[in-house]
């Protein structure tokens, strides 16, 4: 077979700041997926993209080429409107767990293909696997049947979706090109568009515990992804949300499931409730229900009923006891005052060191490990009052976790408390649409 293009020419075009022609860019993605273009050549191209960027049309073409590298699912025969949500990840971000059943309780189908944690950011599938019996792997037929019967499914993406992205993602991770916004956007959106949802809401986070530390960069990523969704016929909106402080009070796996169930029972931390309901309103608006009373669905038990059906459909027991840690260590306030800061990133790293996360994709997670915050920034504390509790199965892990938390939180003796509702209301910074 004679190849239509030369990888070196494509690399040079992007290296020199040019726009790669559509047919050459499609060839580059396909040839890399086939193994004709080497890892070294694609790494060079990815670095050129990081340094030179891509035009909107280039990003659209690259995303479409990645979609075409594998299967594309369709829910056209489902008889329900489909809407999905994607978060760029953070610390304590368990929003998918209460959100999917909440939206499904309005008769909308939520096909939530999720992933596992790596490093300081937790994985939705890891959290749900705290529930005895629950399974992440579903066939396409099982997924469709569950969407029809229950309305919500949270499961692992099949290997057939955007295999080009899977290969390129692993390469970016080891070549210093993860931060390239065109590559981040095409990676996320190729999988979401291939998944077949009719509409999509993006939760794009910024701050200490987010992938994008800077608000302007997060805004650029959000706009790029909204454009990609729109160009592909998927109605897409994005919320820019603050990830400088961990979400909720639980950081880990089993404890985040407990907190999610509290929200579904009509309680839970104000920030988790605020973000869950904000995203639910966005999703339901795209699904044609702009006036849906999402707070009522949490209060009257409809969302909880959908959660229990969703867990049972994937062989989990919603009434089973969740894992508990063998060892705990509580940190107390050294002085009275107002908590002014809890940096998300160090708390995420600490939870990871306790065993709640993984350093390598093949590592196991300890479902009972993690951190429970007992106060949040804006709360007043007394000297000696418990501030947070570390949980682990091995007490030897506490020392390194505490090292990560050195200078990660702060108390101001003269500070003024901030009402919880005010803090929760400040989570969503901007809304971005097409």
- Tell me the catalytic residues: 86, 165, 172, 187, 191
- CA nearest 253: which of 93, 424, 395, 427? 93
Can you tell me the distance from the alpha carbon of 82 to that of 64, in angstroms, rounded to the nearest whole number? 21
CA angle 401, 405, 409 (to 5 degrees): 155
DSSP character string of 295-359: HHHHHSSHHHHHHHHHHHHTT--TTSPPP--SEEEEEE-SSSEEEEEE-HHHHHHHHIIIIIS-S
Question: Judging by DSSP bridges, how do beta strands 327-332 and 235-242 pair with one another?
Answer: unpaired
Q: What are phi and psi of 141, to 5 degrees?
A: -65, -40
How much is the CA Rg of the chain, to the nearest whole Å?
Answer: 22
- For strands 386-392 and 380-381, give the pairing: unpaired
* Pairwise CA distance, residues 159 & 94, whole Å: 24
Spell out the residues 6+ positions from residue 324 whose beta carbon is closer than 8 angstroms to its own: 254, 368
Residues in the chain: 434
Instruction: Determine the distance from the C-alpha atom of residue 311 to the mean position of all C-alpha atoms in its chain, rounded to a whole number.
Output: 20
Cα 278 to Cα 292: distance, rounded to the nearest angstrom: 12
Contact yes or no for 232/223 (Cβ under 8 A)? no
Phi and psi (nearest 5°) for 420?
A: -60, -40
8 A C-beta contact, residue 144 and residue 197? no
Count CA atoms closer than 13 A to 290's CA, side-chain side.
Answer: 0
Check: CB of residue 125 under 8 Å from CB of residue 56.
no
- Contact criterion met (CB below 8 Å) for 230 and 202: no
* Cβ-based neighbours of 390, under 8 Å, separated by 6 or more: 328, 329, 330, 331, 350, 354, 371, 398, 401, 402
C-alpha to C-alpha distance for 82 and 268, rounded to whole angstroms? 27
């Amino acid at each position: 077979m004679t190849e239509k293009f030369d990888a070196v020419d494509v690399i040079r075009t992007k290296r020199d700041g040019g726009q790669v022609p559509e047919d050459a860019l499609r060839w580059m993605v396909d040839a890399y997926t086939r193994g004709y273009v080497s890892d070294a050549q694609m790494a060079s191209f990815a670095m050129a993209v990081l340094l030179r960027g891509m035009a909107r049309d280039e990003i659209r073409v690259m995303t479409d080429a990645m979609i075409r590298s594998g299967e594309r699912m369709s829910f056209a025969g489902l008889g329900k409107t489909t809407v999905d949500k994607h978060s760029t990840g953070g610390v304590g971000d368990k929003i998918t767990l209460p959100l999917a059943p909440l939206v499904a309780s309005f008769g909308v189908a939520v096909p939530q293909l999720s992933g596992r944690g790596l490093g300081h950011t937790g994985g939705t599938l890891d959290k749900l696997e705290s529930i005895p019996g629950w399974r992440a792997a579903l066939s396409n037929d099982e997924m469709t049947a569950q969407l029809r019967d229950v309305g919500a499914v949270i499961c692992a993406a099949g290997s057939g979706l955007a295999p080009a992205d899977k290969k390129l993602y692993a390469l970016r991770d080891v070549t210093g090109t993860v931060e390239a916004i065109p590559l981040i956007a095409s990676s996320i959106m190729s999988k979401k568009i291939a998944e077949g949802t009719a509409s999509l809401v993006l939760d794009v986070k910024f701050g200490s515990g987010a992938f994008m530390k800077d608000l302007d960069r997060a805004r650029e990523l959000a706009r790029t992804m909204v454009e990609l969704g729109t160009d592909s016929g998927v109605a897409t909106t994005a919320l820019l949300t603050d990830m400088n402080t961990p979400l909720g009070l639980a950081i880990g796996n089993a404890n985040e499931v407990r907190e999610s169930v509290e929200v579904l029972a009509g309680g839970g931390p104000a920030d988790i409730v605020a973000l869950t309901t904000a995203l639910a309103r966005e999703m339901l608006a795209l699904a044609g229900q702009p006036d849906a009373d999402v707070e009522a669905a949490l209060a009257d038990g409809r969302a909880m009923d959908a959660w229990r059906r969703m867990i049972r459909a994937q062989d989990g027991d919603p009434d089973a006891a969740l894992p508990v840690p063998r060892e705990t260590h509580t940190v107390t306030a050294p002085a009275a005052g107002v908590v002014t800061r809890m940096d998300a990133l160090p708390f995420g790293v600490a939870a990871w060191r306790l065993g709640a996360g993984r350093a390598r994709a093949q590592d196991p997670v300890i479902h009972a490990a993690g951190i429970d915050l007992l106060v949040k920034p804006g709360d007043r504390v007394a000297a000696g009052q418990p501030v947070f509790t570390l949980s682990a199965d091995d007490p030897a892990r506490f020392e390194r976790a505490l090292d990560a938390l050195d200078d990660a939180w702060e108390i101001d003796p003269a500070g003024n408390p901030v009402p919880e509702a005010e803090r929760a209301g400040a989570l969503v910074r901007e809304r971005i649409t097409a």
